[in-house]
A and B are shown apart, each in its own frame.
Chain A
């Protein structure tokens, strides 16, 4: 199964190696890891997506919680999660296919970041599913390069937590 964790850490040099190292060392598969600043510049939020057996995943959450720089770990249940992802995709095409591709880009609601006569780089931001849909939609054409940020998520905080 898959588990999404939102991890708040002290913004220390090396904190990402501590987290990523722990996960791989204990034998879990990292699907994605994304880190960035929060509303407090001394705190970084890491969104970690891992795959494994349920019991093991509980164990990895506890081990992460134990890291000194980790302030809190919130498991993100898939359904009510506030999650999102961004992807940049470069597609190549022959000039005669250009209008077909432009149509598709419009249909899929993608933003054009860069365009040449035989290639286009588009961006999509949304749910992981909408990113998947965009990639599927473009896949009949030649996808030359792609970058996905990995999932970012925000837990639903109660007032006061």
Chain B
């Protein structure tokens, strides 16, 4: 077979000034508004960093490439813009892998630029050479190894286009050192033309009509909403309110439909509320919107929503019917589909269903457990919610505290709750919160993390101090890997195998060592005051909250089980 690159870009008529590849990238980034980037330098990317020097682009020097990738992710999720991360070849590039996989799973627009050994050395195992192109094929939406400087500008514009359009995702550009120094003519890149790539497929009006009809006939409809609905919050509210549709939002969709809304069911699935799962179980029509029907929500594919027809609207055709075969499929851009649906659907009141939802919510509320003794972690999360009242970006790490945040934080707008969902990558929280705060969200950024997770990227405290990034850090400190410990309690007869830390640093003093105000709180009576002090003080701060060690996240549907198989209760 032949695999030739036949593209020798025609020199553009416009600006013919010769620049280096690195200068061209910097100019491209500035022109496209990417004026804040995250990264970490090294030998193979020195020419690029040289061009960056004094360029006016703000570069945040993180303390680990994983931190830089996750910071770019937090920046992107909070702002809706494309995050940019830069690393050197070899170890720098491999350190990006978790960040890329995370962005891939959660469909976050990210462009990663990695240095690479010179094209003449590729394939010779030269110093700090790693095949990051090959390594990242399965965890990027697309990736490039630039071998011809004439391709560079088109690659850049295509990369940003791909990352941010359609179902967004991470794109990696591997950039050999000689490409960074090669002389090229700067020109405006060609508009990306990718045959076979349709970022905004129009839904088939007949499919939408069928969905409208199903909705009109349904007595107990539920929207099951995922992260793909991020830009459709207004349409959702209109549809739900117009027709009394109950709305369940996945972890990634939290806030897209207001948690405070009467029709909100909040989180469904493994650690969702009972009322959310019961409503799904009683529903006669589930409409998945920009969502994956993943195993943390739909544990048992065959037993899912036994009374319901299932419809699915998604921009990604490969998601439709992937885990669950659906009765009604609408392939297309979600906003286009919802606009059409709004036109076709006659609003209709469903007082019985509306009443039933209120009844389920009243009968099975999520409550903070009471009792004296140590601080309940749920109480800490609830206090954050009460004190911020939706006016904050809440970022979590991964574990029990993450699920309590999903349960007890009230989030009423998109892009205000950031969490590693699909990959569940511990270490996400601190750098992502940093990136979110740098995106200028206009509200405080509060990180809720665990004593395990924060230690996976603790080095970023230095980045936070250095750049005065006002992240409010709350450590739910149970001296253990709580979520795994919980599984061991439930399913391994309390054999706590390697989940209890026998030593932890004093996080408040550790923060202080990084120049960040740190406090510890143990007394439940002082909890609310301590959190409110943290939120009110200017700049970054850390609060180490000593919480009940053996607290569990409930309700819980064990993995693979159905929507009503609540752990510890007879069916």
Shortest beta-carbon distance, B104 to chain A, in Å? 13
Given contact pairs A62-B318, A70-B196, A17 touches B4 in the complex (Cβ within 8 A): no
Q: Are B145 and A13 in contact (CB under 8 A)?
A: yes
Q: Which B residues are in CB contact (< 8 Å) with A15?
A: 3
Given contact pairs A13-B145, A21-B138, A66 touches B1 in the complex (Cβ within 8 A): no
| Contacting residue for A59 out of B1, B133, B322, CB 8 A | B322
| Contacting residue for B317 out of A21, A25, A37, A65, CB 8 A | A65
State the main secondary structure of chain A at its contact with B: mixed
Q: Which of A1-31 contact B (CB under 8 A)?
A: 8, 10-18, 21-22, 25
Complex alpha-carbon distance, A12 and B148, angstroms? 13
Q: Are B3 and A13 in contact (CB under 8 A)?
A: yes
A121 close to chain B: CB less than 8 A = no
B195 close to chain A: CB less than 8 A = yes
A42 close to chain B: CB less than 8 A = yes
Complex alpha-carbon distance, A8 and B4, angstroms? 16
Q: Are A68 and B145 in contact (CB under 8 A)?
A: no
State the main secondary structure of chain B at its contact with A: loop
Q: Are A16 and B195 in contact (CB under 8 A)?
A: no
A71 close to chain B: CB less than 8 A = yes
Q: Which A residues are in CB contact (< 8 Å) with B162?
A: 68
Q: Which of B128-181 contact A (CB under 8 A)?
A: 133-134, 137-138, 141-143, 145, 147, 162
Q: Which of B1-56 contact A (CB under 8 A)?
A: 1-6
Q: Are B4 and A14 in contact (CB under 8 A)?
A: no
Q: Which A residues are in CB contact (< 8 Å) with B1?
A: 16, 35-37, 44
| Contacting residue for B4 out of A11, A36, A58, CB 8 A | A11
A114 close to chain B: CB less than 8 A = no
Q: Which B residues are in CB contact (< 8 Å) with A133?
A: none
Q: Which B residues are in CB contact (< 8 Å) with A65?
A: 317-318
Q: Which B residues are in CB contact (< 8 Å) with A111?
A: none
Q: Are A66 and B316 in contact (CB under 8 A)?
A: yes
B194 close to chain A: CB less than 8 A = yes
Q: Are A14 and B318 in contact (CB under 8 A)?
A: no
B321 close to chain A: CB less than 8 A = yes
Shortest beta-carbon distance, B453 to chain A, in Å? 28
Q: Which A residues are in CB contact (< 8 Å) with B145?
A: 13-14
Complex alpha-carbon distance, A41 and B1, angstroms? 12
Complex alpha-carbon distance, A59 and B320, angstroms? 9
Q: Which B residues are in CB contact (< 8 Å) with A16?
A: 1, 3
A144 close to chain B: CB less than 8 A = no
How extensive is the interface on chain B, given as a class?
20 to 34
Q: Contact string, A47-69, partner B, CB cutoff 8 A, digits 1/0?
A: 00000000100110011011011
Given contact pairs A11-B3, A42-B6, A25 touches B138 in the complex (Cβ within 8 A): yes
Residue of B nearest to A61 (CB): B318
A72 close to chain B: CB less than 8 A = yes
Q: Are B142 and A68 in contact (CB under 8 A)?
A: yes
Given contact pairs A21-B137, A21-B138, A68 touches B194 in the complex (Cβ within 8 A): yes
Shortest beta-carbon distance, A20 to chain B, in Å? 10
Residue of B nearest to A36 (CB): B1
Complex alpha-carbon distance, A36 and B499, angstroms? 53
Q: Are A13 and B141 in contact (CB under 8 A)?
A: no
B503 close to chain A: CB less than 8 A = no
Q: Which A residues are in CB contact (< 8 Å) with B491?
A: none
Residue of A nearest to B325 (CB): A55
Which has the most chain B C-beta neighbours within 10 Å: A13, A36, A44? A13
Q: Are A37 and B2 in contact (CB under 8 A)?
A: yes
Complex alpha-carbon distance, A16 and B1, angstroms? 10
Residue of B nearest to A22 (CB): B138
Q: Which B residues are in CB contact (< 8 Å) with A18?
A: 137
Q: Which B residues are in CB contact (< 8 Å) with A14?
A: 133, 137, 143, 145
Q: Are A41 and B197 in contact (CB under 8 A)?
A: no
Q: Which A residues are in CB contact (< 8 Å) with B316?
A: 66
- A-B CB contact pairs (8 Å), 28 listed: A10-B195, A11-B3, A13-B3, A14-B133, A14-B137, A14-B145, A16-B3, A17-B134, A17-B137, A21-B138, A22-B138, A25-B138, A35-B1, A36-B2, A37-B2, A41-B4, A41-B6, A42-B6, A44-B3, A55-B325, A66-B316, A66-B318, A68-B141, A68-B162, A68-B196, A69-B196, A70-B196, A71-B195
Besides A10-B196, A11-B6, 18 other A-B contacts (C-beta < 8 A): A10-B195, A12-B3, A13-B147, A14-B133, A15-B3, A16-B1, A16-B3, A18-B137, A44-B3, A59-B322, A62-B317, A62-B322, A68-B162, A68-B196, A68-B197, A69-B196, A71-B195, A72-B196
Interface residues in chain B, defined as those with a beta carbon under 8 Å from any beta carbon in chain A: 1-6, 133-134, 137-138, 141-143, 145, 147, 162, 194-197, 316-318, 320-322, 325
Interface residues in chain A, defined as those with a beta carbon under 8 Å from any beta carbon in chain B: 8, 10-18, 21-22, 25, 35-37, 41-42, 44, 55, 58-59, 62-63, 65-66, 68-72
